[in-house]
Structure 1
Amino acid sequence: MESLHTLLDPRHPDVRIECSMARAEYALRAATMAQAEQLAAIHETLVEARAFPEIFVGPSAGSTQDAVAFAERAAVADLAVRLGLAEQTVRAQAEQARVLRLCAPRVWSAFRAGEVPAANARVVAELAATLPEAAWKPFEDAILEAAAVLATARFRARARSARERVQPQEAAALHRITAQERRVWVDHDIDGMSWLTAYLPSAVAQRATAHIDRSAASLLRAADETRTLAQLRADVAGDLLAGVLGSAAPHVGVSVGVLVPVLTLLGGDQPATLEGYGPIDAATAREMAGHAPSFFRILTDPISGTVLDVDRSTYRVPADLKRWLELRDQTCAFSGCGRRARDCDVDHTIDWAFGGTTSADNLAHLCRHHHRLKHHSRWTAEHGAGGMTWTSPTGAQARPDPPPPF
């Protein structure tokens, strides 16, 4: 057994690794605090510029509306030059600080203390800015803890769901208004390439994505196929939009899950959960559950959330269990991983060979990378009531990410 002196010896690899990890953690916290300080300083500079425009436009300009506006522009340009940033970025960071200080002061304080990552603080600012004043505190209450512990991809989904739930306006009416803004646009890039973007209702976007994924996977199975899955997805999407794919295109069945409280189907207003997106309004959920054959339904008790029934019209029982697991997990069960559950492997937390059962409390979705990590490294996982607890090879523990709200 190694002595304490040996274990504390800086020449020992365990000590060096632990020190390096501690340095990385300290540097991240310091960088977060520095980022928050930068935003605060930018915001305060522009406040001062508006209060004392003469500093930026000269005393002869006075304090007219034009003078204040030009002083702010001058201050933005000044900061952009000093910081090596685009002026648009300076304005965006000033607005982020303003919104956080006004709408989410506890998140702002935690951000300045290095406890909330800069990316998560930016998500809070983006979403809080779309809410009326009455919803600011409920929104912050709902996301404060998650902002400090979730990776950004997972946190963005959680915060978006919280925003939908505290929005005081009627969800279906908001959806109808926002749906009027649906559009498609092109951003031209270099080397003869472009980005084609579509802003669509979530139900349409999820079904379209699922169709593209299944079609690409079908093509990938061809013996002579040399393209990657990512390339195939892009080619399928482009061909569909360009009208190239016709009757020769592979016919692929598509299903997207929607978790619907049973009283919602009977006319209630409780929101449903669209797989891969989050809460949707009751009217849309009823339409999807009642009229779209490519959607399957999982009915839940309106009080406890207990699963009451799973559609079994097209799948055997193991497939139904996998459907439920996809909706339960939403993403890879490794802490912070945002890969969709439908693109992951279903893993036995306790291996089948060692007595693990094929049951919901011993199954979880792991992306191929984290699946291999679990089996080929010293990372270990424990399946508990709150989710997966992961332990790293150096003893660090990652608590389960909070489950997605239903």
Structure 2
Amino acid sequence: MAFAVRVVRRLPGAVKALYDGAIDLARLVALDRLTAQLADELVDAVATPVLAKGGRPSLAAFEQAVRRRILRVDPHGSQQRREKAEEGRRVEMRAEPDGMARLALLFPAEQLWAVWARISHLARGMRAGDGRSFDQRRADVAYGLLMGADLGRVPVEMQVIVPVETLLGLAENPGEIPGLGPIPAEVVRQMSEEPLCTWRQILTRRDSGELVDVSDRRFPSAALARKVRARNTTCTLPGCDQPAVSADIDHSVSWGDGGKTREGNLAPVCRRHHRMMGRRKRHPSPMNESPRPAGWQMQQGAPGHITWTTPTGAQHHTHPDNYTAE
């Protein structure tokens, strides 16, 4: 009765759409639930444009449309509710029949999306044909990670579609994580300022939706990695003959210092020397001075042409392999 009274009072247009068969009861329930925190004067501004485009192909698509509209109509309120909801993040466990139990995580959506992507990636890489389903492998991966098993590093790329004006702080239109749905503009901006983030921004124009640019990603694509390894077929540190096929792809100018993931800033470096380079970074500097690099340094003037500077100041040069030379 409370539900019926509430939707008749706050969502008369949605009740009419239900009567006309434009939406079903599940969509009306979702619309009521998602707009429950909105002031009455904002509910119609959300419901009317959403209902004008029908019930969408699926309930999930309908819910995403509602959330997207809420973020546009009430961006500041959405951010405040997001911050309050984030304070309630938690882990819960519930007993299930037959000696089973259920573990539930309540976290910000983009964080759990990254967790889900990593678990799924690791599960796909496990040996198939052992009788386990993909869901079972994913469950085993999750248990192993929580119990401290070293399952290796997995780069997770998160695509966030966001208008240029939102990223620049000129508008509050929400971002969109494909497959997950809209996220508040402020959350997108916070993600874009994280130097260790490994996600790619897909920039669009607010008016036309036209693609403006696809920003750099921290990890190179498979095609770019193959090209870099074919260009320099061994570790590029002078004197090292470890094959590039098993080497890491390193940034000449590190990602954290603004280096781009481009062919001219990438080179294969074996794991041992890559770790050595990781310890080269910086020494403390006096106040008002920029940090002083220490140890081995690499500078790539042209793709594959690398100048290495040793800790003593000596320089060595590495060149791309020439496939036409005798």
Global fold match (TM > 0.5): yes
Secondary structure of 2:182's counterpart equals strand
SS of the residue corresponding to residue 200 of structure 2 reads strand
Give the paired residue count. Answer: 221
Shift of 1:230: 1.1
Q: Aligned to 1:215, which of 116, 122, 126?
A: 122
Is the contact made by 2:13 and 2:48 (CA closer than 8 Å) also made in structure 1? no
Secondary structure at the aligned position of 1:195 is classed as strand
Structure with the higher strand share, 1 or 2 = 2
Residues 268, 282 of structure 1: 8 Å contact kept? no
What are the Cα deviations for residues 184-229 of structure 1, in whole angstroms up to 9, with x where unaligned?
A: 112211011122111111121111111111111111xx25533111
Give the distance between the partners of 1:223 and 1:275, measured in 2 at CA.
Answer: 28
Deviation at 1:129, TM superposition (A): 1.9
Aligned to 2:190, which of 282, 287, 306?
Answer: 287
Query: Counterparts of 1:91-110 in structure 2 under 5 Å?
Result: 94-110=1-17
Q: Which residue of 2 aligns with 1:277?
A: 180
Taking structure 1 as reference, are residues 262 and 116 closer, same or farther at Cα in structure 2, changes over 3 Å only? closer
Write the distance in 2 (CA, Å) between the matches of 1:162 and 1:253: 32
SS of the residue aligned with 2:125?
helix
Structure 1 residue runs without a partner (length 5+): 1-93, 319-406
User: SS state of the match for residue 129, structure 1?
Assistant: coil
Residue aligning to 1:297: 201
Q: Deviations over 1:110-161 (max 9, x none)?
A: 2234432111111112122221111111111122134534321221222222
Percentage of matched positions with identical amino acids: 28
| 1:245 partner amino acid | A
Q: Which of the residues 118, 130, 136 maps onto 2:37?
A: 130
Residue 132 of structure 2 is aligned to residue 227 of structure 1: yes
Q: CA deviation at 1:317?
A: 8.2
| Alignment partners' CA distance in 1, 2:21 and 2:176 | 33
Residue among 163, 168, 174 paired with 1:261: 163
Give the Å deviation of 1:312.
5.1
- Aligned equivalents of 1:310 and 1:184: distance in 2? 35
C-alpha distance in 1, partners of 2:54/2:97? 36
**SS at structure 2 position matched to 1:148:** coil
Inter-partner Cα distance in structure 1 for 2:154 and 2:54: 39
- Asked whether the 8 Å contact 2:75–2:184 carries over to 1, the reply is no
CA 1:262–1:112: 2 relative to 1, 3 Å: closer
Aligned match of 2:144:
239
Shift of the 106–265 alpha-carbon distance from structure 1 to 2, 3 Å rule, reads: closer
Please give the per-residue CA displacement for 1:77-102, whole angstroms capped at 9, x wherever unaligned: xxxxxxxxxxxxxxxxx232122101
Tell me if the contact between 1:187 and 1:195 (Cα under 8 Å) persists in the aligned partners: yes
Q: Shift of the alpha carbon at 1:237?
A: 1.7
Which residue among 65, 73, 80 is the counterpart of 1:173? 80
Query: What residue number does 2:237 align with?
Result: none
Q: Note the 1:363-374 alignment, pairs <5 A.
A: none
| Partner Cα distance (2:56, 2:162) in 1 | 28
Alignment map for 1:2-401 (pairs within 5 Å): 94-167=1-74, 169-219=76-126, 222=127, 225-241=130-146, 243-246=147-150, 249-270=151-172, 271-291=174-194, 292-311=196-215, 313=217, 314-315=220-221
Q: CA 1:165/1:151 → structure 2, altered by over 3 Å: closer, same or farther? A: same
Any idea what SS the aligned residue of 2:170 has?
coil
Q: Tell me the amino acid that sits aligned with residue 181 of structure 1.
A: G
The Cα of 1:103 is off from its aligned counterpart by 1.2
Could you tell me how far 1:310 is from its partner in structure 2? 1.2
SS of residue matched to 2:105: strand
Q: Is the 8 A contact 2:75 2:185 kept in 1?
A: no
Q: TM-score, normalised by structure 2?
A: 0.61
TM-score, scaled to structure 1: 0.50
The CA RMSD measured in Å over matched residues stands at 2.5
Paired amino acid for 1:237? A
Rounded to whole Å, the distance in 1 between the matches of 2:4 and 2:184 is 31
Deviation at 1:168, TM superposition (A): 5.9
